[in-house]
Amino acid sequence: MIKRLFLFITPDGVTYSSYDLNEPDVDNFQVLGYGEGENEDEAFQDFKSQNQWLMNTEFDETICIEIKHRICEGKCFRLKDNKEE
């Protein structure tokens, strides 16, 4: 069978939208990495074997989502217009 690509994310952790903030202000998911396999279980095993550093973190829950491309292969969009006036 063909191996499928899965992205693993977690709701654990916090995010700051600015270095100036003292407390996190963004409620989002953290991208942990990728895994490949014929199904979600195989992909999870592949993901864990490639990211053993995660075992030394406080991350606990992870969610897998099947994707077509890795992030580095996707199209990039800007949230704000960076044109100089």
Domain ranges within the chain, ordered by starting residue: 4-11+28-73
Is pLDDT of 84 > 50?
no
Q: What is the pTM of this model?
A: 0.74
Tell me the helices (H) and strands (E) count for the chain, helix number first.
1, 3
Both structure tokens of 62: 């992870």
- Pair 33, 64: CB distance under 8 Å: no
36 in Cβ contact with 4 (< 8 Å):
yes
Kindly report, residue by residue over 24-76, the tens digit of the pLDDT. Answer: 777 788 899 999 999 999 999 999 999 999 889 888 899 999 998 887 777 87
pLDDT at 27: 77
